[in-house]
Amino acid sequence: MNPTLVRLRGVERRFGSVVALAGAELELRAGEVHGVLGANGAGKSTLFNVLGGLLRPDGGTIEVDGRPVVLTSPRDAWAHGIGLVHQHFTLVPTLTVSENLALGLRGALEPGLSVQRAVRELIERTGLDVPLQPRVEELGVGDRQRIEILKALLRDPRILVLDEPTAVLTPDEIERLFDLLRELAGEGRAVTLVAHKLDDVLAVADRVTVLRAGRTVLTAASGEADQSELVRAMVGDGVVDTIALGLGPPPSGAPPSAPHAERWVVRLRGVDVEDERGWRLHKVDLDVAGGEVVGVAGVEGNGQRELARVLAGRLEATRGTVELPEQIGFIPQNRSTEGLIGEFDLVENVALALYRKPEFHSGPWLRWDGMKRVAEEIRSRYEVAAPSVATLGGALSGGNQQRVIVGRELEMSADLLVAENPTRGLDVSAAAFVHDELRRLASEGVAIVLLSTDLDEVLALSGRIFAIAAGTLRPVSSRARDRAGIGALMLRGERRTAVDSALERGVDDG
């Protein structure tokens, strides 16, 4: 058996009255890829941060090479050879890729080895192909993820821990990443993958550890555990949302029928969106009819943010015609910064979408009693776990925030609902709730546009599917309607820079 590099025993960590870890066990061995699984809220991120020295456990022990250690800072973790790849990017957008890679490297490289040379060698060895000259802000999300991994590898860690690395990658990129992880393990490192998608973990991990409610509930070689056993371990007796766990489309999720041409509610023709960095959207044509779910798949940073905002009437197109219905519901991706106001209570957060409706004001005066009733209704009908409608938006969990937002946007009786990564970061039952609501709405005749980086979600819910890459929208034919086909379309035109788009525009205009 391979030697054990890291062992966590009975690790506990509380935040105020909330217990995030309540006896987590983890054993990482040299030469193996280890998957840490768990639903959202299971304690994965806390465990990750404990390993990286970002959080100190309240109880339990951490052993590295069989000796107990205290990790009080990321520096400590590095000193023991533990390297982290964060889910949230830690790069400085205004610095170039080389500069970002060089940051904090002083003393970490072998003497005499320049950063440039180390980076080039590493790129050659790993095949993680990234440009070094552009500023990070000019690059797409996929590139940024690769840079994060490079940054961690530059210090030659013995133990590499990655937090949800697949969230922003295309299927092809995920394949390549997994190859790399296996290779790194083959060199004798312990590679750890923290993820909530079963498929991802099973595809690459030699062993898996399942966390639930802060406890390690299962550790097994990935060959030994079957899927249903793992799912049960992850969710306990909770609701199972097969899409959110990456288990493929649900059996009942047959795509809705073709759109009714007489019920078009959205019409985009030749829509461009341009900002100081170049094109965000380019010559987009899109029609959406009542009762259909149109899926838009794409790697983040390819224009779906702008497309969502144009469709939701929040952003004006630079060029082209846009026809939208009067009432539009919008579920923005960033619940806590764009969907809700943390310091507003539920009534005020509901009011945010509704206060303009005639029944909720008379002249300049708001009618809070009416909006309070609606908020009470949303709280009970959508089972928002909040003691009262006076609860602050910031005090809700992500899932409950999303329940409030969905409830509020449905309350508008909109003809169109635009949903942007509506289940990202939600736990299983909350994700299931959102999916059910989207299906129900479509069946009631509402036009729905679902923009998501989660291919499984798009495949499961949508009728027609489009792929967006570099601001261009391309329909996905029924032939290409699978992960590989869409992935291929998503990849086209990635890594665009301002220079590229300016060049392209010059060619077009001339």
Partner 1 sequence: MADVQAQSVRSVGALESILTGAVAVALTLLTGAVLLLLGGFDPIAAGGAMIGGAFGGWNTFVSITLVRSIPLILTGLAVALAFRAGVWNIGAEGQLYAGAIAAVWVGIRGGALPAPLLVPAVLMSAGVAGALWALVPTLMHLRLGVGEVITTILMNFVGIYLAAYMVHGPLQEARGVFPQTGPIAEAARLPMLLPGSRLHWGFGVALLLAAALAVVVRRTRFGFELRAVGASPEAAAVSGRIDTSRVLLVSFLGSGAIAGLAGGVEISGLTHALYEDLSPGWGYTAIAVALLAGLNPAGVVVTGVLFGALQAGAGAMQRDAGIPAAWVGVVEALVILAVLAIDRIRRRAGALRAAGARGDE
Q: Footprint of partner 1 on this chain (CB under 8 A)?
A: 15-18, 20, 41-46, 309, 313-314, 330, 332, 334, 337-344, 348, 351-353, 355-356, 361, 364-366, 368, 391-392, 394-397, 405
Provide, rounded to whole angstroms, the least separation between the CB of residue 94 and partner 1.
15
Residue among 22 and 488 whose Cβ is closer to partner 1: 22
Residue among 227 and 388 whose Cβ is closer to partner 1: 388
Provide, rounded to whole angstroms, the least separation between the CB of residue 182 and partner 1.
28
Residue that is written with structure tokens 């969907």 in the block: 339
Rounded to whole angstroms, the Cα distance separating 105 from 210 reads 34
Contact 126, 153 (CB under 8 A): yes
Q: Which residues, 6 or more positions from 307, have their beta carbon under 8 angstroms from its beta carbon?
A: 281, 284, 296, 451, 468, 473
Provide the b/e sequence for 320-339 (b: ≥16 CB within 10 Å). Answer: bebebbeebbbbbbebeeeb
Contact 162, 193 (CB under 8 A): yes
Provide, rounded to whole angstroms, the least separation between the CB of residue 5 and partner 1.
24
H or E, element range at 92 = none
Provide, rounded to whole angstroms, the least separation between the CB of residue 353 and partner 1.
6
Rounded to whole angstroms, the Cα distance separating 165 from 86 reads 8
Provide, rounded to whole angstroms, the least separation between the CB of residue 288 and partner 1.
20
Query: What is the 8-class DSSP label of residue 115?
Result: H
Residue among 39 and 101 whose Cβ is closer to partner 1: 39
Beta strand 207-212 with 215-221 is: antiparallel
Residue among 44 and 403 whose Cβ is closer to partner 1: 44
Which residues in 47-175 belong to E strands, given as ranges? 59-64, 67-69, 82-85, 159-163
Task: Give the three-class secondary structure for 315.
Answer: coil
Residue among 101 and 194 whose Cβ is closer to partner 1: 194
Residue among 41 and 142 whose Cβ is closer to partner 1: 41
Provide, rounded to whole angstroms, the least separation between the CB of residue 358 and partner 1.
12
Q: DSSP secondary structure string, 441-490?
A: HHHTT-EEEEEES-HHHHHHH-SSEEEEETTEEEEPPSTT-SHHHHHHHH
Q: What is the CA radius of gyration of the chain?
A: 24
Task: Give the three-class secondary structure for 176.
Answer: helix
Residue that is written with structure tokens 């994965």 in the block: 44
Residue among 43 and 255 whose Cβ is closer to partner 1: 43
Residue among 20 and 489 whose Cβ is closer to partner 1: 20
According to DSSP, the residues that pair with 105 across neighbouring strands are none
Provide, rounded to whole angstroms, the least separation between the CB of residue 332 and partner 1.
5
Residue that is written with structure tokens 């077009």 in the block: 508
Provide, rounded to whole angstroms, the least separation between the CB of residue 325 and partner 1.
14
Residue among 3 and 93 whose Cβ is closer to partner 1: 93
Query: What is the 8-class DSSP label of residue 8?
Result: E
Provide, rounded to whole angstroms, the least separation between the CB of residue 497 and partner 1.
23
